Structure 1
Amino acid sequence: MERLERIWLTLWDSFNSARKLKLALAFVLAGLLLATAFGIYWSFEPDRFDVSEQARQQTAMESPVTGAHTVATLIHLTETLLEKPGGYLSNDMTPPGIWLDNIPSWEFGVLVQVRDMSRALRKSFSRSQSQSTEDPALAKAEPLLHFDHRNWILPSTESEYRKSLKLLYDYRKRLIDTQQQDAQFYARADNLRDWLGDVSTRLGSLSQRLSASVGQRRINTDLAGDSAGRQATVASDELEIKTPWLQIDNVFYEARGTAWALIHMLEAVERDFGDALDKKNARASVRQIIRELEATQGTIWSPMILNGTEFGFLANHSLVMASYISRANAAIIDLRDLLSQG
């Protein structure tokens, strides 16, 4: 009898163990499926927004003052990084955020343009000349946006960027207050040309990195213009440059984020710098740049970023993106020349 009881207890324990194991596996599987669903949802890029509508909403003015479109766009781009589905993902240390790399790369592309615009606001747009005093809120906001974009604790990246947002809110509040004169926005052609110089440099670098997806032999231009005595030898003048396979999609999505941010910034600039652009007959040039950048936002029908050769059987998404970026950059260079003319 005791033997039968022992056998029965052994079978019952085995049954319970198997059931617990199945339950645990079911929970793990359900968790993975849920994380995958959230990961897919969080990977959708934010939609375009109307910069004029944003300026009216943020300023509560039907006809916002000069500079309001640019400042409102900068604020909304920063808010989008923090408040889009999933929030800010570049510093996530838990699933599914830690598994994602495309949308963090997109975030970095947007962030670089936010940083460049905040610097332009601080050193050019808000100052009448090089010897004038910089705006105190912008002087604090710009360094905060340069905080490490991957830091997750003590302090977190999000907390530093939110501090910067509060300072940008302060500048916006003073800018739209017609009773105060301590916040200004100088929509001059030379200021716009300086910012476009930074944009051109960024796009030029992105174009080269995108083109390197298939591997390229390039001439080493690091010592270009230097004395003949310091030039590299002919044998070392050529460099083999190829983007690592695991980085190809990251560079692609960084370019997507950069272009997405620039589309909105250029739309805001067109409104705030309208008079300066009209005097130089340059408004059409700005719209053409926007048109070129809009082409980078087309729907990606492939489940992954393809990396075929230049004239191979498979498409190369990076080379297509590089083409659009290069054309936009060429148009920006022409626009800067136009703005420099008297």
Structure 2
Amino acid sequence: MERLERFWLTLWDGFNSGRKLKLFLAAILAWLLVAAAVGVYWSFEPDRFDVGEQARLQTATEQPVTGAYTVTTLIHQIEMLLEKPGGYISNDILPPGIWLDNMPAWEFGVLVQVRDMSRALRKSFSRSQSQSTEDPALAKAEPLLHFDHRNWILPSSESEYRKALKHLRDYRTRLVDTDKQDAQFYARADNLRDWLDDVSTRLGSLSQRLSASVGQRRINTDLAGDSAGRQATVSSDELEIKTPRLQVDNVFYEARGTAWALIHMLEAVERDFGDALDKKNARASVRQIIRELEATQSTVWSPVILNGTEFGFLANHSLVMASYISRANAAIIDLRDLLSQG
């Protein structure tokens, strides 16, 4: 009888242990499914926003002053980086954020344009000439936005970017206050051309990285423009350049984030620099650049970024993106030339 009891007790204990293990595994599986669903939701890119509406809403005026559109657009883009679904993901160290790579790449594309615009505000847009004093709020905001985008503690990236927001809002508050003259915005063609020069450089690099998804043989131009002797020895060598397969989607989404940010910035620039653009007959050029960049925001129906060969059976999303980026960059180069003309 005792043996029989021990047998049933052992069997019952084994059943209980097995049930606990199954419950534990089921809980892990449920958590993974929820985390995956949340990760998919966090990976949705933010929608476009109305630049004019945001400027009127945040400045509480029907006719914002010159510069308010550009500054408000910059502020709102930073706000969206921090407050979109999932918040700022690039420095996450826990699931599901740590598993995601497309959204952090998109965030970095936006952040680079935010940094370039903040530098343009500090260096050019807010100063009448090279020897004039820079705005103190902008001088504090720019280095804060250049803080490491992957730092998660002591201090976190978000905390530094929020500090930059405070300084940018302070500059905007003083800018829209018509009773004071301690904040200025100079919507001149030369200032706009300087910013466009940075934009063109960024787009040129992105176009090359996107095109390298299938591998390219290029002439080494590292010393282009250098002395003839050194150039002759270097430029004759060919380089094989190819983006690693696991980085192809990251470059693609960085380009989409870059284009998303530039669309809004150019829409703001068209409003703030309207007079300068009209004098140069350049307003249509700005709208054409926006049109080219808008094509980069089309819905990606494939669950993965395809990397087919140039004329292969499968599509190559990176080459399509490179085409739009290159055309926008060519239009920007033409616009810079137009703005430099007397």
Which TM-score band applies after superposition, normalised by the shorter structure?
Answer: over 0.9
Q: CA deviation at 1:232?
A: 5.5
Partners of 2:268 and 2:47 lie apart in 1 by 17
Aligned to 2:274: 274
Q: Is the 8 A contact 1:220 1:238 kept in 2?
A: yes
Partners of 1:28 and 1:234 lie apart in 2 by 56
Q: Is the 8 A contact 1:115 1:146 kept in 2?
A: yes
Q: CA deviation at 1:233?
A: 2.9
Partners of 2:319 and 2:254 lie apart in 1 by 14
Partners of 2:228 and 2:70 lie apart in 1 by 46
* AA at the equivalent of 1:44: F
Partners of 1:312 and 1:59 lie apart in 2 by 52
Partners of 1:76 and 1:278 lie apart in 2 by 27
Partners of 1:285 and 1:43 lie apart in 2 by 33
Partners of 2:132 and 2:107 lie apart in 1 by 34
Partners of 1:185 and 1:267 lie apart in 2 by 17
Listed as ranges, the matches of 1:264-303 within 5 Å are 264-303=264-303
Residue 260, structure 1, aligned to residue 269, structure 2: no
Aligned to 2:47: 47
Aligned to 1:163: 163
Q: CA deviation at 1:295?
A: 0.3
- 1:112-142 per-residue CA deviation (whole Å, 9 max, x = no partner) reads 0000000000000000000000000000000
Q: CA deviation at 1:228?
A: 2.3
Partners of 2:236 and 2:316 lie apart in 1 by 29
Aligned to 2:231: 231
Q: CA deviation at 1:236?
A: 5.6
Partners of 1:227 and 1:110 lie apart in 2 by 38
Listed as ranges, the matches of 1:169-318 within 5 Å are 169-231=169-231, 233=233, 237-318=237-318
Q: CA deviation at 1:235?
A: 8.5
Partners of 1:292 and 1:231 lie apart in 2 by 35
Q: CA deviation at 1:234?
A: 6.5
Q: Which runs of 4+ in 1 moved over 6 A?
A: none
TM-score using structure 2 length: 0.99
Listed as ranges, the matches of 1:48-67 within 5 Å are 48-67=48-67
* AA at the equivalent of 2:54: Q
* AA at the equivalent of 2:172: R
Structure 1 regions of 5+ residues with no counterpart?
none
Q: Is the 8 A contact 1:223 1:232 kept in 2?
A: no
Q: CA deviation at 1:6?
A: 1.3
Partners of 1:332 and 1:74 lie apart in 2 by 20
Partners of 1:127 and 1:66 lie apart in 2 by 14
Q: Is the 8 A contact 1:293 1:325 kept in 2?
A: yes
* AA at the equivalent of 2:216: Q
Partners of 1:129 and 1:338 lie apart in 2 by 21
- 1:240-286 per-residue CA deviation (whole Å, 9 max, x = no partner) reads 00000000000000000000000000000000000000000000000
3-state SS of paired residue (1:92): coil
Structure 2 regions of 5+ residues with no counterpart?
none
Listed as ranges, the matches of 1:3-82 within 5 Å are 3-82=3-82
Aligned to 1:95: 95
Q: CA deviation at 1:309?
A: 0.6
Q: CA deviation at 1:4?
A: 2.0
CA change 1:321–1:186 in 2 (3 A) is same
Partners of 1:155 and 1:234 lie apart in 2 by 44
CA RMSD of aligned residues (A): 0.9
Q: Is the 8 A contact 1:306 1:317 kept in 2?
A: yes
Partners of 2:261 and 2:320 lie apart in 1 by 19
Partners of 1:161 and 1:132 lie apart in 2 by 27
Partners of 2:124 and 2:165 lie apart in 1 by 19
Q: Is the 8 A contact 2:219 2:235 kept in 1?
A: no
TM-score using structure 1 length: 0.99
* AA at the equivalent of 2:227: S
3-state SS of paired residue (2:153): coil
Identical-residue share of aligned pairs (%): 88
Listed as ranges, the matches of 1:71-150 within 5 Å are 71-150=71-150
Q: Is the 8 A contact 2:223 2:235 kept in 1?
A: no
3-state SS of paired residue (1:218): strand
Q: CA deviation at 1:172?
A: 0.7
Q: Is the 8 A contact 1:218 1:238 kept in 2?
A: yes
3-state SS of paired residue (1:217): strand
